[in-house]
């Protein structure tokens, strides 16, 4: 079955002695004959083959080729660059079902979520094509006669994209579709846990590049570990490093980039909270909370991890949540009706168990989620999502555990609820469930949620591509996807044009003449 799937995704032809490529440079596969890393699906632990890791030479060649491609691509008018994105979208539509199945096989997310991830790439294509005719600057009123003051946005250079396992396609698409249409080249280091999705994407894009007669080096792929990412961060030919992952990883990227004052776009961890007030629609809140906390088996940066609920409504809300959690269909994510698949690895399950044990030592009451779940003869890390009522926001609650654990905190005063929301070091997503206009106004106002995403009567996850996505504090401050996030991939140039014969100076300065 896997071999047929690989063929449908366009990557079977890149296998060599059962080893997947270490790199795909200029559309050609490169192998590391000396190092092979095993790949397995989190669904049941079965083998998917072996993977080479890019050598220093592979990564160097990839950056160099991307830089050379950028030098010519930046001269192509933006609407023509948009035609490449439209070609990519056409090829993606022909392979969307196969790619979604591959995402499920390699990441363990349910098929419905995988299909949504492919749709997100398509949505980004549509957005980028429209953007290709709207990369606009400004005309600014000059204080000097016969002068024009303009602001333009120019292509930036080579954009390195480092992605995580939980969204093995969509996050790359957020970056790559905008970077390409803005006139840049892209080099991608995907997660070591989902390299086959990256190979499938690269195969599709390579076909589009060839069909559109675009430079082959526009999109490069290097499979590897942290050392490969470090090489991308350190190379002066890389103009921007866009990295998605843990806060610790982002700090390392930021520190490495700072040594050469390189640009970074960081989308890091999120310890997201939702506040539920007495005026909330509890049926609506329950549905939103379950999806936000248990979807993708708790492995989204926007996963709901802290529930801050008014003490008067806590018993009713928790009763509904516990019933919903105990009825969640958990199992093979390829099967119809399943809503929660496996964690990405056994080590992720171990971290979840350790976090629950610490929460209980801190006085937490575990309402559900204290068991591992054998799924058939599977070796997958299946767990029941957990709900833990905590006496206070202890150290374990303040840390993000990338697993389906929902910590419940009670509050009496709305100001205290906002303070709990803002008390953690991350600032990605937040939510408020309330039908009180004053509470809503405070939550989204300057003294409310300090997160990049502040939602009302909807959950913390599931953002649309039209809005800028990202967060504050240790989440990194980056913004991707919609709105004006495209400006991250361009450099700003302010132009002053003297259309006259005199030389007036700004601020009325007189230089070299006696008053």
Q: Which residues are catalytic?
A: 267, 301
Helices (H), 194-270: 195-211, 226-234, 247-258
Among candidates 195, 15, 1, which has minimal Cα distance to 101? 1
Q: What is the CA radius of gyration of the chain?
A: 25
**Cα dihedral 175→264→162→31 (10° resolution):** 110
- DSSP character at residue 333: T
Task: Please state, in angstroms and rounded to a whole number, the distance separating the CA atoms of residues 380 and 337.
Answer: 18
Q: Which residues pair with 388 in a beta bridge?
A: 366, 407
The dihedral of CA 191, 195, 197, 201: what is its sign? positive
Here the tokens at position 275 are 């506040």
The dihedral region occupied by 171, where left means phi > 0, alpha psi between -120 and 50, and beta the remainder, is: alpha
Q: Which residues of 172-186 are buried (b: 16+ CB within 10 A; e: fewer)?
A: bbbbbbbbbbbbbbb
**Cα dihedral 416→418→424→427 (10° resolution):** 180
* Residue 104: strand, helix, or coil: helix
Task: Please state, in angstroms and rounded to a whole number, the distance separating the CA atoms of residues 237 and 64.
Answer: 8
Contact 301, 478 (CB under 8 A): no
Lookup result for tokens 């450099």: 491
Contact 271, 286 (CB under 8 A): no
Beta-sheet strands, E only, within 130-271: 138-140, 147-155, 158-162, 185-189, 219-222, 238-244, 263-267
Separation in Å, CA 1 to CA 110, 251, 381: 18, 41, 22
Separation in Å, CA 479 to CA 153, 242, 467, 482: 17, 10, 9, 9
Largest CA distance in the chain: 93
């Amino acid at each position: 079955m896997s071999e047929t799937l690989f063929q449908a995704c366009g990557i079977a032809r890149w296998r060599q002695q059962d080893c997947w490529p270490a790199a795909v440079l200029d559309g050609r596969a490169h192998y590391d004959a000396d190092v092979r890393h095993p790949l397995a699906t989190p669904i049941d632990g079965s083998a998917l083959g072996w993977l080479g890791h890019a050598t220093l030479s592979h990564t160097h060649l990839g950056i160099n080729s991307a830089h050379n491609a950028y030098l010519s691509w930046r001269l192509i008018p933006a609407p023509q660059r948009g035609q490449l994105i439209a070609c990519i979208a056409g090829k993606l539509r022909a392979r969307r079902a196969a790619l979604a199945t591959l995402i499920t096989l390699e990441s363990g997310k349910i098929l419905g979520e995988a299909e949504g991830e492919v749709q997100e790439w398509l949505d980004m294509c549509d957005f980028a094509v429209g953007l290709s005719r709207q990369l606009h600057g400004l005309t600014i009123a000059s204080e000097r006669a016969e002068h024009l003051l303009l602001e333009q946005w120019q292509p930036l250079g080579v954009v390195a994209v480092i992605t995580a396992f939980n969204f093995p396609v969509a996050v790359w698409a957020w970056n790559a579709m905008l970077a390409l249409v803005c006139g840049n080249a892209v080099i991608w280091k995907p997660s070591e846990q989902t390299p086959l999705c990256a190979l499938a994407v690269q195969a599709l894009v390579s076909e589009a590049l060839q069909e559109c007669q675009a430079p082959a080096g526009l999109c490069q792929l290097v499979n590897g570990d942290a050392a490969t990412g470090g090489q991308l961060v350190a190379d002066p030919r890389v103009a921007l490093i866009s990295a998605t992952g843990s806060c610790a990883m982002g700090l390392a990227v930021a520190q490495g980039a700072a040594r050469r004052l390189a640009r970074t776009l960081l989308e890091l961890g999120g310890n997201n909270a939702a506040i539920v007030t007495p005026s909330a629609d509890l049926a609506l809140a329950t549905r939103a909370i379950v999806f936000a906390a248990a979807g993708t088996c708790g492995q989204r940066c926007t996963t709901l991890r802290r529930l801050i609920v008014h003490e008067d409504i806590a018993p009713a809300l928790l009763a509904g949540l516990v019933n919903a959690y105990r009825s969640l269909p958990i199992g093979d994510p390829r099967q119809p009706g399943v809503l929660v698949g496996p964690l990405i690895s056994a080590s992720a399950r171990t971290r979840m168990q350790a976090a629950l044990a610490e929460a209980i030592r801190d006085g937490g009451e575990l309402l559900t989620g204290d068991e591992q779940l054998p799924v058939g003869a599977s070796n997958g890390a299946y767990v029941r999502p957990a709900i833990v009522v905590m006496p206070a926001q202890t150290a374990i609650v303040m840390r993000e555990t990338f697993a389906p654990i929902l910590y419940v905190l009670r509050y009496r005063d709305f100001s205290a609820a906002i303070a709990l929301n803002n008390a953690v070091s991350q600032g990605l997503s937040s939510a408020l469930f309330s039908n009180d206009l004053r509470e809503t106004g405070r939550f989204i106002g300057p003294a409310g949620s300090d997160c990049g995403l502040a939602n009302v009567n909807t959950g913390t996850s599931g953002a649309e591509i039209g809005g800028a996505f990202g967060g504050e504090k240790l989440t990194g401050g980056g913004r991707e996807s919609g709105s004006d996030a495209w400006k991250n991939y361009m450099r700003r140039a302010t132009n002053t044009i003297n259309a006259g014969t005199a030389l007036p100076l700004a601020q009325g300065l007189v230089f070299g003449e006696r008053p």
